[in-house]
A = this chain, B = another copy of it.
């Protein structure tokens, strides 16, 4: 075990650069930041000195002086869940492209921890904050008065004056049904997950509406709610096939459920996609592409959602706010489990 600390030679400061270039710090600053009032030759000398010293301006000092720090907070309620991550990736992407750095905090769904993190972020003078939820159910707004713009992503805020971005699950339901109809299926069942999820309800609403538009109703006259698991998908599929043998289309609330449905259908001797079509939800690669047959699924474009959230935050920081819930469309990814005519 070593106990040295690698004699790090204090990072170069603007003063060092100025001294090396033989100018004042003011001039050095102007030269480096491309302001005018500096002769070309002088600027060159300064830039050369900065290069030699590997000068990197101290963002703390800069942030202290100007109002802005060029940092934002990304407050997620659960890193664990697989919905937060893509949103986070999109946001990080959108920010990283510019000059903004991201503070990541995980509140683990705990309001106390959340508040603690918000305080820490504010003390670091972030320019804005994105709050990423684990479900699309509206969530109570941040308790603390936050003096910077906030954008809620995936889980919208209950306060309509806040800026929220979420996925259009109703539209997604329509999309799935429209596709199944295009596959020539008329007897369509909807097997979904935990009905306490707003997302499950929304998808059911969209599905029902799209069927109604075609003068049809769901097989069984209702959505089959259960849990987001393969086991439920298997059980539901068996039950539905037994009670309604005419069923020839399944819209599933998640890819896991769809995997279960596919498994059950195969064991029941049903031909997918020959006589029955199946559509999943989430477009979770590891499940969709490993399924037999590969699974058609709905993608919520979560990365895009994250990017849009970042853009809205930028706009808000610049003073342009468009309050309310913005619903981003979902996308159908066609694979083998459903073949349109």
Residues on A lying within 8 angstroms of B by beta carbon are: 1-6, 8-9, 11, 54, 56-61, 63-64, 69, 71, 74, 79-80, 85, 88-89, 92-93, 96, 99, 101-106, 113, 117, 119-125, 145, 147-148, 229-231, 256, 259-260, 286-287, 289-290, 319-323
Contacts and interface: CB of A to CB of B under 8 A. Distances in A.
A287 B291 CA distance: 12
A121 to B, nearest CB: 7
Given A58-B123, A74-B104, A231-B290, 16 more contacts: A3-B319, A4-B321, A6-B321, A9-B147, A11-B147, A54-B145, A56-B122, A57-B123, A58-B64, A59-B123, A60-B124, A60-B125, A93-B106, A101-B105, A101-B124, A103-B103
A290 B230 contact: yes
Contacts of A85: 79, 85
Contacts of A320: 1-3
Contacts of A323: 2
B319 A4 contact: yes
Contacts of A101: 103, 105, 120-121, 124
Contacts of A260: 290
Count of this chain's copies in the oligomeric assembly: 2
Nearest to A148: B8
A79 B92 contact: yes
B256 A124 contact: no
Contacts of A61: 60, 64
Nearest to A120: B101
A35 to B, nearest CB: 19
A5, A123, A256, most chain B CB atoms within 10 A: A123
Given A60-B125, A104-B104, A286-B256, A79 B69 contact: no
Nearest to A323: B2
Contacts of A321: 1-6
A96 B89 contact: no
A69 B60 contact: yes
Contacts of A1: 320-322
A8 B93 contact: no
A89 B88 CA distance: 13
Contacts of A230: 290
A250 to B, nearest CB: 17
Contacts of A102: 103-105
Contact of A104 (B54, B92, B122, B123): B92
Nearest to A259: B290
A231 B289 CA distance: 10
B125 A58 contact: yes
A286 B8 CA distance: 46
Contacts of A63: 60
Given A74-B104, A104-B74, A125 B59 contact: yes
Contacts of A287: 286
A72 to B, nearest CB: 11
16 contacts: A1-B321, A3-B321, A4-B319, A11-B125, A11-B147, A56-B119, A56-B123, A60-B61, A60-B63, A60-B69, A60-B125, A85-B85, A92-B106, A96-B105, A101-B105, A101-B121
